[in-house]
Amino acid sequence: MTANLVLLSGGVGGARLARGFEHLEEVRSTVVVNVGDDETIYGLHVSPDVDTVLYTLAGVEGPQGWGRAGDTMVLMDHLSKLGVDTRFRIGDADAAVNVYRTMRIRAGDQLDEITAALARTLGVRSRILPATNSRLRTEVRTGPGCWLPFQEYFVLRGHRDEVAELRYAGAESATASPGVVEAIRSADAVIIAPSNPPLSIWPILAVADIGAAMRDARRVMAVSPLFGGRALKGPADRVMSSLGLPPGNSGVLAAYDGLLHDLFIDSLDAGDAPSLEQAGVSVHVGSTLIAEEDRAVTFAGRMLEVL
Amino acid sequence: MTANLVLLSGGVGGARLARGFEHLEEVRSTVVVNVGDDETIYGLHVSPDVDTVLYTLAGVEGPQGWGRAGDTMVLMDHLSKLGVDTRFRIGDADAAVNVYRTMRIRAGDQLDEITAALARTLGVRSRILPATNSRLRTEVRTGPGCWLPFQEYFVLRGHRDEVAELRYAGAESATASPGVVEAIRSADAVIIAPSNPPLSIWPILAVADIGAAMRDARRVMAVSPLFGGRALKGPADRVMSSLGLPPGNSGVLAAYDGLLHDLFIDSLDAGDAPSLEQAGVSVHVGSTLIAEEDRAVTFAGRMLEVL
């Protein structure tokens, strides 16, 4: 029997889990990817999370969690000589993808069509859908009245600032890209990847018809991004805390307020299980480390068994 | 005494003549460059003639008459792998200039400011002004009702097609970029470079206030692009002929209808001199080969003597 799965994904964590599922023949998966991180950089439309998923599933991802393995920086070097601020590093193969995306957007094509074409070119089997073709941008309030574009907060300022508030500009009028709502409605389970809940998953849920479809989903399973209460990398625990969510996996459960049927947490957080179970969610404890491909495949298999 | 010169220029020929004048200390020159060849390629705003002038004056021009010497093609190779048509070749250093230009245009900056910044970065002494900051595009009619964008005619189709008619889309509402009209009015002489008259110079003269200023210019000296009645490279003679201009330098004189006080022609065309003189223009016969820098300097010196 084939399991139809939908994976809601940010960048690295979701990409790695998606890679695990891509190895399971009995799974048909649709990866719905956050576009709140999208930005115009060097005049190019960059979609960092979409590209991380594409590159990871194609096996060409960069070791740092962005860009491509072994990419050259010829264009950056030349831009730098022209006095352009090149702290946002885009390698040449990565730049070509962004040039391609930007050309097609200007020609009137939609993000989902462009993503599908890139997936075909890169030889990716899973279906990858940007959450929305509409313009939606995560913005981060770090001080009174002070809203930063996501990439300025995340890349240029190294996500050091305390996050007081988030907003998803454009979300109110955004609609799910074609196929997303149908995929969620017909999925045997929707899996929320071990991505940063407020920064990577909320911007997906902020699209009204995706949020509504999620409330009707047959089964929603989340994988916690926490290990011993902390994110492996990135600011998930700090952001959840500064936004007033409870610490540890109670915070993850609260972040997905009423949506979850199952929560997969790491063995390091086994102590969180009783209170989570009491809150009415099925808790599955075990290693949730999926950085290496074989571990991701094993973990995906475990999720499938639970399902 | 300093001579104030304005040079009207297309790509290679004008760039080479401008390089000659850049070596003469007693000359202050402003190069007014055609932008009718500008195009959006790979989503980037390319200004081929402006860049040829910039690169030639900076001594980094490509040997083929476009792009930069020793440039790499990393971005083109990656775009090509994505299935993008990369027949319009843009090297990486050249691409960086176009990315820079496009970023600044999107940020609301004008072509003349961007050109000035590039000239500073590249260490160019002459003032280089795009003819207009307005959108002006040369279009080429090659068949009944069939108008091609300039770069499609010139680069992609290799300027093989017979040119039945030209138009300069946007010229009717275009205005000269800041400083152009003042430079022409105060110039001791305006020099029309040995560029293609219909394809490179007419789009400059099509800007109404430039055309008007030229009719009032103190002295207008043109350098013929013909050698034995033919262009060294490119389709100048064929285009002039298919547009109904007389053959040889009579065609050049007619192309600049009533504007010229002086015409510099090559020794190969000495036979054209009598009829040209009869038409009321001062003719100067000698070698007009300026491909090599020292010859360009010598030729520029000769023009200055005549002046």
Inter-chain touch A82–B96, beta carbons under 8 Å = yes
Looking at residue A205, its pLDDT comes to 98
pLDDT digits (tens, 9 = 90+) for B103-127: 999 999 999 999 999 999 999 989 9
- pLDDT value at position A143? 87
Interval B233-245 mean pLDDT: 95
A93 closest CB neighbour out of B78, B97, B121 = B78
Percent of chain B with pLDDT over 90: 94
What average pLDDT score do residues A248-256 get? 97
pLDDT digits over A171-215, tens only? 999 999 999 999 999 999 999 999 999 999 999 999 999 999 999
pLDDT of B145 = 86
Q: Name the minimum distance, in Å, from the CA of B3 to any CA of chain A.
A: 32
Q: Which of A110, A93, A92 is nearest to A101 (CA)?
A: A110
B73 part of contact set with chain A, CB < 8 Å: no
- CB distance B75–A100 less than 8 Å? no
Q: Per residue in B20-63, pLDDT tens?
A: 999 999 999 999 999 999 999 999 999 999 999 999 999 999 98
DSSP state letter for B284: E
Is the pLDDT at B213 greater than 90? The verdict is yes
Distance from CA of A36 to the nearest CA of B (A): 21
**Measured between CB atoms, does B116 come within 8 Å of chain A?**
no
Q: A116 CB near a chain B CB, below 8 Å?
A: no
Q: What's the mean pLDDT in B246-267?
A: 97
Does pLDDT of B176 surpass 80? yes
How close does chain B come to A54, measured CA to CA in Å? 14
Contact residues on chain B for A101, CB-CB shorter than 8 A: none
In this complex, the residue of A83, A92, A118 whose CB is nearest that of residue B121 is A83
CA distance A108 to chain B (A): 12
The mean of the pLDDT values for chain A is: 96
Residue B225 has pLDDT above 80, yes or no: yes
- Chain B residues close to A121, C-beta within 8 Å: 81-83
Over 90: is that where the pLDDT of A134 sits?
yes
Which pLDDT score is estimated for A47? 98
Going edge to edge, which strands form the sheet with A146-149?
A: A146-149, A137-143, A165-169
Using the beta-carbon criterion (under 8 Å), do B42 and A78 form an inter-chain contact? no
> Can you name the residues that pair with B41 across neighbouring β-strands?
B44
Interface contact flag, A79 B99, Cβ < 8 Å: yes
Query: Looking at the predicted structure, is the pLDDT value of residue A21 above 90?
Result: yes
Whether A229 has a pLDDT exceeding 90, the answer reads: yes
**Residue B103: closest C-alpha in chain A:** A43
The predicted structure's pLDDT at residue B76 = 97
Q: Looking at the complex, does the CB of residue B125 fall below 8 Å from at least one CB of chain A?
A: no
Among B126, B166, B160, B172, smallest CA distance to B37 is for B166
Give the minimum alpha-carbon distance from B254 to chain A in angstroms, rounded to a whole number. 41
Interchain CB contacts (distance < 8 Å): A and B = 78
- For residue A206, the SS3 value is coil
Q: Residue B28 CA to chain centroid, in angstroms?
A: 19
Q: Quick count: other Cβ atoms within 10 Å of Cβ B273?
A: 16
Q: What is the pLDDT of residue B226?
A: 97
Residue A248 region by backbone torsions, left for phi larger than 0, else alpha for psi between -120 and 50, else beta: left
pLDDT at B11 > cutoff 80: yes
Q: Under an 8 A CB cutoff, do B84 and A100 touch?
A: yes
Q: Is B146 on the interface with A (CB under 8 A)?
A: no
Q: How far is B168 from chain A (nearest CA, A)?
A: 23
How confident is the prediction for chain B on average, in pLDDT?
Answer: 96
Task: Spell out which residues of chain A touch residue B103, defining contact as CB-CB under 8 Å.
Answer: 42-43, 84
Question: What is the sign, positive or negative, of the torsion defined by CA atoms of A198, A199, A201, A207?
Answer: positive
Residue A144: per-residue pLDDT: 87
Can you give the pLDDT at residue A244? 97
- The answer, for B69 touching chain A at a CB cutoff of 8 Å, is no
Region of residue B234 (left: phi > 0; alpha: psi -120 to 50; beta: else): left
| pLDDT confidence band for A290 (50 / 70 / 90) | very high
- Split at pLDDT 50, 70, 90, the class of A125 is confident
Percentage of chain A surpassing pLDDT 90?
95
Give yes or no for a contact between B281 and B263, defined as CB atoms under 8 angstroms apart. yes
pLDDT at A233 (0 to 100):
87
pLDDT on residue B26? 92
Chain A neighbours among B 86-105 (CB < 8 Å)? 92-93, 95-97, 99-100, 102-103
DSSP sequence for B22-67? HT-TTEEEEEEE--TT-EEETTEEE-HHHHHHHHHHHT-B-TTSSS
Q: Which of A78, A84, A113 would best serve as a mutation to test chain B binding (most B beta carbons within 10 A)? A: A78
pLDDT in tens, B116-158: 999 999 999 899 999 999 999 999 999 888 999 999 999 999 9
Q: Is the pLDDT of residue A1 over 80?
A: no
Helices (H), A63-167: 74-81, 92-106, 111-122, 150-151
Q: Tell me which chain A residue has its CA closest to the CA of residue B45.
A: A43
Q: Which residues of A touch B92 (CB under 8 A)?
A: 74-75, 78, 92
Chain B contacts of A44, Cβ < 8 Å? 43, 99
Q: Are A240 and A205 in contact (CB under 8 A)?
A: no
pTM of the complete model: 0.90
What was the ipTM of the complex prediction?
Answer: 0.86
Chain B residues within 8 A of A93 when measuring between CB atoms: 78
Report the pLDDT averaged over residues A107-125: 96
Residues pairing with B33 in the sheet: B9, B130
